[in-house]
Chain A
Amino acid sequence: MKRTDMYERHVAAGGRMVDYSGWELPVQYDGTGIKTEHLNVREKAGLFDVSHMGEIMVEGPEAEKWLSTLVTNDIFVMRDGQVQYNIMCNESGGVVDDLLVYRYGPAKFLLVVNAANVDKDREWLTKHLPPRGAAIDDISMKTSETALQGPAAEAILAKVADFDPSTLKFFTFTHGANLGGIPAIVSRTGYTGEDGFEIYVPWKRGAELWDLLIEAGRDFGLIPAGLGARDSLRFEAGLPLYGHEFAEDLGPLEAGFGFFVKVDKPGGFIGQPALKRQKEEGLRRKIVGLRLEDKGVPRSGMDVADPSGNIVGKVTSGGYCPSLDANMALCLVGTPAPEEGDPLSVIVRDKPKKGVVVKRPFYARKRGNR
């Protein structure tokens, strides 16, 4: 199993290490646990080691034009220093991966992709490279990534950064930053539904940055948070997880992320005809949110039934949401899908548990000025 530069820090902090896509990472820390870590991120701040994430550089005079043909969002509207959420589709409109695109300039982009998909993505990109004008470089193993998330993140970062983090707007980044002597790329992004930053440093400086941030966050209630809280936070905030809300045979429109799919984008993109057709003909399936009213916990893969007991779909992600103190699920169901307020059940160990369709996302923070 692969270990990040922060491995020793996790073990020392009581991290319960698990195998996640071939990486040995903490699911939670003894003494806090998922619920406490989750709530701490919502109320104060949490520090996540996300060095398992993949980073791929795209460079060359054709970089912008080429990249646009691989992703669903319109990258031509991006300004330098902007970050954009994107989806990379296959020909049938399913999802190869979802990713963040960082724009340095028209000839240089950074792609941040899921750990489980790094190899697949690199092969996919390589297969579609133009004969000249664009090249990719997988720098995943050269890059440590740390996510500093929560309302106190800005104040904590301000203590160690050589720039004023309050000037960094949501979904923008700065490269060439310096955090306590460590060169860093810092973006105001995250996977928790809170304000926060994702910080990329050279692989071997990961633990040093970890120590620096933990120390800076001491007075702000910063604690390390594991993969368990990362998942419960993203789920509650309505953020998709590859392999759950997205898959090679489950596309972005069905998953409810059509906002990031510009089907009429000039120049086209892989999957565009399929997605356009889906849009015109109407979706056959879609994901709806559900709150369980009966007691029980819905889990990924469980069947979903209508009030007459007919199986109408499956849970893509489910579980207890600490900030709502409720058991929630995302359900992929056939259309016409039930509407908000309609009854819908989850079959938990052969027993239907009643629930109601609710709006997504389940949790949204009160946004400030960014």
Chain B
Amino acid sequence: MAKIPQDLRYTKDHEWIRMEDGVGVVGITDYAQHAMGDVVYVEFPEKGRKVRAGEDFAVVESVKGANDVFSPVSGTVLEVNDTLEESPELLNQDAYANWLVRLEVADPGELDSLLDHAAYAALLEELEAENG
């Protein structure tokens, strides 16, 4: 069963976001890393890039294939997680401890439209049911 921390917000595309001192910290969920399998490379956006909510702004490459990562909210890329450049496999070990990007969030109100942990858990249950 995939881990779903209570204090995060989620997207239907399996990203998470957490606000930390006014900055949005973004990553992929445990379900996502599990579905992708062994992660071998993360392609990050450039610092300073402006992204819209739902825009693909990073790519997580697993042995199986490339997976787009979509920004949960609009904002500007402040920082990317360099640790994953050297050790992308950390994403498979803990997808919540290993964030991808820190964002200056343009409109914190956008967070309200994201899924809370209960809604995300319900989504995963649906997916499980579909896939048997």
Give the B-binding residues of A (Cβ under 8 A).
27-28, 30, 33-36, 38, 228, 232, 295-297, 299, 319-320, 322, 327, 348-349
Residues of chain B at the chain A interface (Cβ within 8 Å):
34, 37-38, 40-41, 43, 59, 61, 63-66, 85, 92
Inside 8 A of A27's CB, which chain B residues have their CB?
64
Whether the pair B37, A320 counts as a contact (CB closer than 8 A) is no
Which residue of the partner chain A has the closest CB to B65? A299
Residues of A contacting B34 with CB < 8 Å?
A: 30
Interface of A is mostly: mixed
Task: Give Cα A296–Cα B59 distance, bound, in whole angstroms.
Answer: 10
A296 touching B40, Cβ below 8 Å? no
Q: How far is the CB of A121 from chain B (nearest CB, A)?
A: 28
Let me know if B64 and A349 touch, CB within 8 A.
Answer: no
- State the Cβ distance, A247 to closest chain B Cβ, in Å: 21
Instruction: Classify the secondary structure of B's interface with A.
Output: mixed
A34 touches B38 (CB 8 A): yes
**A295 CA / B42 CA spacing, docked (Å):** 9
How many angstroms between the C-alpha atoms of A320 and B37 in the bound complex? 13
Provided the pairs A34-B63, A319-B63, A320-B63 are in contact, do residues A297 and B37 lie with their beta carbons within 8 angstroms? no
Contact status of A297 and B64, CB under 8 A, knowing A28-B37, A228-B37, A327-B40? no
Find chain B residues with CB under 8 A from A228 CB. Answer: 37, 63-64
Q: Nearest A residue to B68 by beta-carbon distance?
A: A349
Instruction: Please tell me if the beta carbons of A297 and B38 are within 8 angstroms of each other in the complex.
Output: no
In contact, B66 and A320 (Cβ under 8 angstroms) = no
> Is the pair B61, A34 in contact by a Cβ cutoff of 8 Å?
no
Q: Report the minimal beta-carbon distance from B129 to chain A, rounded to whole angstroms.
A: 15
* Docked complex Cα distance between A30 and B34 (Å): 9
In the complex, chain B residues whose CB is within 8 Å of the CB of A38: 63
Name the one of A33, A299, A349 contacting B38, with C-beta atoms under 8 angstroms: A33
Instruction: List chain A residues, Cβ under 8 A from B40.
Output: 297, 320, 327
The answer to whether A35 and B63 touch (CB under 8 A), given A297-B40, A320-B40, A327-B40, is: yes
A295's nearest neighbour on chain B, judged by CB, is B41
Contact A33 B41 (CB under 8 A): no
